[in-house]
Chain A
Amino acid sequence: DTAVSQTPKYLVTQMGNDKSIKCEQNLGHDTMYWYKQDSKKFLKIMFSYNNKELIINETVPNRFSPKSPDKAHLNLHINSLELGDSAVYFCASSLSVDNTGELFFGEGSRLTVL
């Protein structure tokens, strides 16, 4: 069983569209994250979500919104897509209570905006 799974793996869409990426973890972790990896491979945290507390990186445009129906899922919804949103988006999870900070990553979702 895949620990952290994301769908879709590839997503190609037009500017201005709205799209979602889904993430599920079966590790029983308390915290989930979304990271963006740009074309230079730089990984930047977008959101962390723990016990219904959302921590937002202030540099993330409000067109991006995480949605968590339950502890095992954290979906990423993007409105009005722009060319600069093209990137690989990684979902991750961690077991907060052990305070080790170790993250388990999904395989990524490559978003291409045309």
Chain B
Amino acid sequence: AQSVTQPDIHITVSEGASLELRCNYSYGATPYLFWYVQSPGQGLQLLLKYFSGDTLVQGIKGFEAEFKRSQSSFNLRKPSVHWSDAAEYFCAVASWYSGGGADGLTFGKGTHLIIQP
């Protein structure tokens, strides 16, 4: 079964500094990978996704992620964080049931990002 590991429960970064959030996945086939962000009291918003092709994908709000098959990783990066980036970040991998339809996402446990002034 697929799984996603986000090794960092909390990360604190100074405003304006660079950010990297780690994500490792376990999946038998080529994974479809996602990063979602959840602001306090809100639902989940898609930041970016990887299906195939270029292993460096660009997302919204200045985020990017790099897929590294050899390391089973899909780390999220941002060159300069803003106070509004403080949120919970979730990495996820997609799966499908035997009929071919989407069977939902398996999420990591999330990384809580704190921005210091």
Contacts and interface: CB of A to CB of B under 8 A. Distances in A.
B74 interface: no
Contact of B109 (A41, A92, A105): A41
Contacts, number: 84
A108 B100 CA distance: 27
A78 to B, nearest CB: 20
Contact of A100 (B36, B94, B106, B107): B94
B103 A48 contact: yes
A89 to B, nearest CB: 11
B44 A105 contact: yes
Nearest to B111: A41
B104 A48 contact: yes
Given A99-B100, A100-B49, A43 B90 contact: yes
A99 B107 contact: no
A50 B104 contact: no
Contact of A45 (B43, B100, B101, B105): B105
Interface residues of A, number: 32
Contacts of B99: 50, 53
Nearest to B93: A101
A43 B101 contact: no
Interface majority SS on B: helix, strand, loop or mixed? strand
Given A42-B109, A50-B99, A100-B49, A33 B88 contact: no
A71 to B, nearest CB: 12
Contacts of B96: 99, 101
23 contacts: A41-B110, A42-B107, A43-B90, A43-B107, A44-B107, A45-B104, A45-B106, A90-B44, A92-B104, A94-B104, A96-B102, A99-B100, A100-B32, A100-B49, A100-B94, A100-B102, A101-B32, A101-B94, A101-B103, A101-B104, A102-B46, A102-B94, A107-B42
Contacts of A41: 38, 88, 109-110, 112
A108 B44 CA distance: 9
